[in-house]
Structure 1
Amino acid sequence: MTNNPTTDTADVFAMEPPERRLLDRRKALVTGADSGIGQAIAYRLAAHGAAVAINHVGDSTVAEAMVRKIESAGGKAITLPMDVTQEEQVRRAFARTAGAFHGLDLLVNNAGIERPFRLVDMELEWWQKVIDVNLTGTFLCSREAARIMLERGSRGAIVNITSVHETIPWAEYSHYCASKGGQRMFAQSIARELAPHGIRVLSVAPGAIETPINKDVLADPQRRKTVEDEIPLGRWGKVSDVAGVVAFLASERADYIVGSTVFVDGGMTLYPRFV
């Protein structure tokens, strides 16, 4: 598992040397791949030799720029508009990916949203929206990926990006925690179904990661330190920390890892008030 930040940024992209590539000839789809952790994962998979479908919703500008960077460096990628909550869009997008790449053997369920609400103030609309994207979207995408892999007899992997909040309660984010806890149990359940067919299902649970969604906290020195005080390693994570773990778990080097959650959190889940 390598940790080369040049493969995880919008500014610079480079392929890994052939002898270090973990995912040559793999065919991947990453949801929510045009920003933050998803973008880093898409770049990292491509750097390791995978063809990557870069999912986005709405404006395709960033996704198109990512494709150009990857292809100019010798990799392969396509843009993939898709709302993960819309069943027909998911079906069409997965069919398009399988057609473009002549198959699919790696799905990373990364798309997710969050917004704080006290329980007494939470509107049903926002409860449903978070569950729809984070949990139902994971179901719809996993189902289509499994259908393609099983039909073609492909050995493959489905990697769900969950959160430390699949296990750590978080006040004002009950909908988010419910969705992430649900992802964990969903992954473990389908792992039992799919492992006999050579399809591994895993989860990666990031902790506090420096991404645009956390920009307000990161810009406030006191709030930033409050989070750092809960991390034994003493620092926020980087998107490259998560991307490197995903690439490893998706590769044959992790072939005996099934149904597990790998926490990428600097030890946050070990903090005394969480255990």
Structure 2
Amino acid sequence: MSLTLTGFDNKVAIVTGAGRMRSIGRPIALTLAKAGCDVVLTGTGKSPERYPDDEKAAGWRDIESVADEIRAQGRRALPLVSDVSSPEAVEALADRILAEFGRVDFVINNAGSTKGQDRQPVVTLPVNEWQRVIDTNLNGSFYMCQTFARRMIDLDQGGAIINISTLGTRLLAAGTAAYASSKVAINGLTTILSGELGRYGIRVNGVCPGLIDTSRLDDMGRGDIWEQLVKSFIPLGRAGTGEDIANMVAFLCSEQGAWINGQNIYVDGGYTNVPLMGN
């Protein structure tokens, strides 16, 4: 007898930040569709000129391409350009989803700030860079959680909210003040919400990815430095994939994960343990 995750049939999931080809958001959306969900995809509507080279070569169309992949699996897909850092935009997003589908069951807060000039010491960190990262990562997650939790309570059908965080909340590396602080706060928000929403049958958990091979990390290259980083810090011997994160998200949304609530789960190949051992 095989084990199959259940609890997805005819459910509706929203995945923010789902438009990149090599990413975490796209595999989450595709995995939830494969499990049986109809999926709403959001992206910022970034100009094609700013796409990674492999996306340009593939004729990638951001969330529209992901929507096509979901429809090819026989599920409904609704791609919407939306700005999670705007509470008004998030309210409009929720209204559109309820008008289109009549329900929302799983909210995956994956949208994150792009890399900018924020990776520097606090004493030189521009205030506008701090605000930019906080507005998208923390405020965006708060607006999504608040807005969709209200709708889910009214629907009285339970559900799950998953906040995508980072291994960086444990590493707390120098030069990551804005990014790591935003994600530490998201971890706290996750735990607090789990206590507030559990009575409504809404589970709230966080997933904290480690080193994931996505286009977001292309500035690190994929040569000797990358391989040495993987070898030195990941006991399982490989970088993670978007699918590794998607599998955890699917489990937390499933009936098999129905008694997991208020957890921030590190999916990092064992990276978390290496600094603690002094290696």
Normalising by structure 1, we get a TM-score of 0.89
Alignment of 1:120-135 (within 5 A): 120-135=123-138
Could you tell me which residue of structure 1 aligns to residue 194 of structure 2?
191
Alignment of 1:244-263 (within 5 A): 244-263=247-266
Could you tell me which residue of structure 2 aligns to residue 93 of structure 1?
93
CA distance in 2, matches of 1:266, 1:199: 28
Alignment of 1:13-28 (within 5 A): 22-28=7-13
Question: Among residues 167, 173, 176, which one is paired with 1:173 in the alignment?
Answer: 176
* CA 1:202–1:88: 2 relative to 1, 3 Å: same
Question: Among residues 6, 10, 15, which one is paired with 1:30 in the alignment?
Answer: 15
Secondary structure of 2:62's partner?
helix
**Which amino acid is the alignment partner of residue 33 of structure 2?**
A
Unaligned runs of 5+ in 1: 3-18
* CA 1:140–1:81: 2 relative to 1, 3 Å: same
Aligned-pair CA distance for 1:216: 2.4
CA distance in 1, matches of 2:235, 2:65: 37
Alignment of 1:31-110 (within 5 A): 31-35=16-20, 36-59=23-46, 61-110=61-110
Aligned-pair CA distance for 1:238: 0.8
**Which amino acid is the alignment partner of residue 109 of structure 1?**
N
Secondary structure of 1:219's partner?
coil
* CA 1:260–1:267: 2 relative to 1, 3 Å: same
Secondary structure of 1:126's partner?
helix
**Which amino acid is the alignment partner of residue 129 of structure 2?**
W
Aligned-pair CA distance for 1:22: 4.9
Percent identity of equivalent pairs: 34
Secondary structure of 1:266's partner?
coil
**Which amino acid is the alignment partner of residue 125 of structure 2?**
M
CA distance in 1, matches of 2:14, 2:91: 13
**Which amino acid is the alignment partner of residue 239 of structure 2?**
W
Tell me the C-alpha RMSD between the 2 structures: 1.8
**Which amino acid is the alignment partner of residue 45 of structure 2?**
G
* CA 1:215–1:110: 2 relative to 1, 3 Å: same
Moved more, 128-137 or 52-61: 52-61
Secondary structure of 2:272's partner?
helix
Aligned-pair CA distance for 1:218: 3.8
Secondary structure of 2:9's partner?
coil
Moved more, 81-90 or 217-226: 217-226
Secondary structure of 1:74's partner?
coil
CA deviation string 1:114-154 (max 9, x = no partner)? 44122222100110111111100000001111011011112
Alignment of 1:88-237 (within 5 A): 88-113=88-113, 114-115=115-116, 116-237=119-240
